[in-house]
Structure 1
Amino acid sequence: MHYNKTLSARFVSRPNRFIAQVDIEGKTETVHVKNTGRCKELLLPDSKVILYDANNEKRKTRYDLIAVEKSGLGLVNIDSQAPNKVMAEFLAGRGYDVVQPEFRYGNSRIDFYMKRGDQQYLLEVKGCTLEREGIGYFPDAPTERGIKHIHELIQARQEGYWCGLAFVIQMPLVSEVRPNIVTHPAFGDAWNEALAAGVKIWFIGCKVNNDSLIVDEKRIVAEE
């Protein structure tokens, strides 16, 4: 996926989870943060950040903060809407007869329903921005919603669907994601239950640039 117009700035502060203060060539600007997660290990004072110019006069903020430079790693995309857009582009080129986003199953909306011949597929997508020693971790905060989605996938797998959980890794160099059991032990339990039930787990590595987030075909890994 591509952003039409971006520019660099320096991170100053984050008054709340929706906005940040940044420095653009000596001028302080309030910008929208496209990720309500904590991002405490990323949004550090004076870090280089990438802004997207929304070019919408009706908005209170002109720019969206979409990425941040992490020392020793590189540029990390933190746009929470990007993973589903990247996955939609990726699935479109995989030969499915049907690719339908936001599919209603049980009490949830699963990110993607696909069909190829008689086989039906359900795929839930998560973005990963948390890295420690070259390994990605999810979640960065407790997520009961994430556990609920995994349980829905397990149920669907028992009904004959091919089911998968895809982690779009929004940073370079990282090709593996592990459950963050320190932050949310129950998510690790759900992860293991999913694997035991036959739910596939994909790690989708990406190339991150100032104006794009693109799947890196060499960093696609399936955990069996």
Structure 2
Amino acid sequence: VYDGILSGNIKTLFGVKYIKKESFYGNSRFDIYFEKENSKGFVEVKGVTLEDNGVAMFPDAPTERGRKHLIEMADAVSKGYEGFIFFLIQFKGAKYFTPNNITDPKFAEALSFCSKNGVKILAYDSDVKKDEIIISKQIEILF
């Protein structure tokens, strides 16, 4: 995702002037900190491997740490940062992405809260190679 931002392949994050891996905010360490001309923000990346009938889902197990990241991201957005939760689907051909409400309903609730409170939720599929992951296209998100 870091390389995708640098190369301009992730259109929503186009125009980044400064980027840094692993940056702290509150009690969380987000995967990416960035600065644009008139804003700054964070990106938290979640790798998605769970698939059911072509539907990509996250998480595949309950994740308290994942929920904490969502709450911290919403807090950052409330304080003027841009915030992104980026679901990197590690397979091609997903019909859409949805939070896994069965496995972790609290994560699904937190993601919905984030979406309603200014955090941008993105999902992209990818082509997983032996030595790299190539981000492909943006995938629809259904709550």
TM-score, length-scaled by structure 1: 0.58
Taking the aligned partners of 1:176 and 1:112, their CA distance within structure 2 comes to: 24
Corresponding residue for residue 90 of structure 1: 4
Taking the aligned partners of 1:163 and 1:220, their CA distance within structure 2 comes to: 17
Compute the displacement of 1:176 (Å).
Answer: 2.4
Taking the aligned partners of 1:173 and 1:222, their CA distance within structure 2 comes to: 12
| Partner residue of 2:30 out of 76, 99, 110 | 110
Unaligned runs of at least 5 residues, structure 2: 9-14
Q: Which has the higher helix share?
A: 2
Compute the displacement of 1:126 (Å).
Answer: 0.3
Corresponding residue for residue 94 of structure 2: 174
The one of the two structures with greater contact order (alpha-carbon pairs below 8 A, sep at least 6) is 2
Corresponding residue for residue 20 of structure 1: none
Taking the aligned partners of 1:127 and 1:175, their CA distance within structure 2 comes to: 17
Instruction: Report the AA paired with residue 3 of structure 2.
Output: E
Instruction: Report the AA paired with residue 99 of structure 1.
Output: I
Instruction: Report the AA paired with residue 220 of structure 1.
Output: Q
Q: How many residues align?
A: 136
Taking the aligned partners of 1:169 and 1:135, their CA distance within structure 2 comes to: 10
* 2:105 equivalent to 1:185: yes
Unaligned runs of at least 5 residues, structure 1: 1-86
| Partner residue of 1:152 out of 63, 68, 72 | 72
Corresponding residue for residue 31 of structure 1: none
Instruction: Report the AA paired with residue 72 of structure 2.
Output: E
Q: Which has the higher strand share?
A: 1
SS of the residue corresponding to residue 151 of structure 1 reads helix
| Partner residue of 2:82 out of 162, 175, 200 | 162
Compute the displacement of 1:210 (Å).
Answer: 4.2
Corresponding residue for residue 12 of structure 2: none
Instruction: Report the AA paired with residue 135 of structure 2.
Output: V
Compute the displacement of 1:93 (Å).
Answer: 1.7
Compute the displacement of 1:211 (Å).
Answer: 4.3
Compute the displacement of 1:88 (Å).
Answer: 1.2
| Gap change, CA 1:222 and 1:124, over 3 Å in 2 | farther
Q: 1:63-102, aligned counterparts within 5 Å?
A: 87-94=1-8, 95-102=15-22
Compute the displacement of 1:209 (Å).
Answer: 3.4
Compute the displacement of 1:175 (Å).
Answer: 5.1
| Partner residue of 1:213 out of 115, 129, 133 | 133
Which structure is larger by alpha-carbon Rg, 1 or 2? Answer: 1
SS of the residue corresponding to residue 113 of structure 1 reads strand
Instruction: Report the AA paired with residue 47 of structure 2.
Output: G
Taking the aligned partners of 2:114 and 2:37, their CA distance within structure 1 comes to: 25
Percent of residue pairs bearing the same amino acid type: 35
Taking the aligned partners of 2:19 and 2:95, their CA distance within structure 1 comes to: 25
| Gap change, CA 1:223 and 1:206, over 3 Å in 2 | same
